[in-house]
Structure 1
Amino acid sequence: MILFLTRTYFPDGTNGKLECEGKLICNTIELPWKNNEKRVSCIPEGKYFIRKRYSQKFKWHLEVVAVQNRSYILFHPANNALRELNGCIAPVTKLSGPGLGLMSRKAFIALKAIVYKALDHSERVELIVESVNTVL
């Protein structure tokens, strides 16, 4: 399975569209691009893999593996990138501004179901992160 995350960068956050086989799964919010600095920047564009992960805080969620100079980059619910993310990616049902979204938990549940189904069938889940344009 290949997921495509297409981003638009803004000074206060990064908005994205997460698709699989040309179908929209959900929108995403992330921190703004700040040269891949830990806890304040979204991750670099590129190709990654996704795996299941469990933590006390987020229970079962998704982890983006092998991000250069970063660890624990997760997909988890959040509606405000600057307040709730430390470099992770939040699925949202609807975008409401740069780095802002609505109904994240609903989008996360849908994304997790799709990805877990593929992983449970021993498929590799690849994430390709690219940009559509930059707004500065």
Structure 2
Amino acid sequence: MGLVLTRIYFPEGTQGILEWNGTLVCYTIELPWLGNQRRISCIPEGEYVLQKRFSPKFKWHLHLRNVPGRDLILIHPANDAKKELLGCIAPVAQHSGVGKGIYSRKALEKLKALVYAALDRNEEVKISIQSNPSTPLRTTRLKKSR
């Protein structure tokens, strides 16, 4: 079973559409693309294996395994990428601005229901992250303070 996250990149953040076997599950928000720099950039496009994860802060959520140059990349609730994410992905029910969304916990519950059911059947679940072909990756540079 597979998820496909199709991204659109902006200097302020990254917007996404998350589909499960071709059906819309939710939208996503992430940090902007800044060359895969830890804690300030979204992760590179590619295919990653998902697994269940529990933490006291986020309770049950998802973990992306083997992300190049990064560790502990999660799918967890957040409504403002710049304030609440350090490279992770947040599902949202609706975008409310670039890198912002609403009803993240509700969107995560919907996503977990699908993914956890497949994992409970011992199926491997992967997420394929790609850019929207009509909006290629936009490289953003860190602004230098003057």
Displacement, 1:84? 0.4
For residues 56 and 69 of structure 1, what CA distance do their matches in structure 2 show?
A: 25
For residue 58 of structure 1, report the CA deviation from its aligned partner.
0.9
Deviation string, structure 1 residues 28-82 (Cα, Å, up to 9, x no partner): 0000000000000000001111000111111111001000010110000000000
Deviates more, 1:55-64 or 1:2-11: 55-64
* Shift >3 Å, 4+ stretches: none
3-state SS in 2 of match to 1:68: coil
Say which structure is richer in strand: 1
Alignment partner of 1:73 is 2:45: no
Quote the sequence identity (%).
56
Match status 1:90 vs 2:90:
yes
What are structure 2's unaligned runs of at least 5 residues? 139-146
In 2: Cα distance, 1:57 partner to 1:18 partner: 24
Q: Which residue does the alignment assign to 1:46?
A: 46
| 1:67 alignment partner, SS class | coil
Structure 1 Cα separation of the partners of residues 136 and 33 of structure 2: 10
TM-score, scaled to structure 2: 0.91
Task: Quote the offset at 1:8 in angstroms.
Answer: 0.1
8 Å CA contact retained: 1:10, 1:134? no
Larger radius of gyration: 2
Question: Is 1:61 paired with 2:61?
Answer: yes
Distance 2:61 2:42 in 1: 18
Tell me the SS of whatever aligns to 1:106.
helix
| Counterpart position of 1:21 | 21
Paired residue type of 1:116: Y
**How far apart are residue 90 of structure 1 and its match?**
0.2
| Partner residue in 1 for 2:125 | 125
SS of aligned partner of 2:119: helix
Structure 1 residue runs without a partner (length 5+):
none
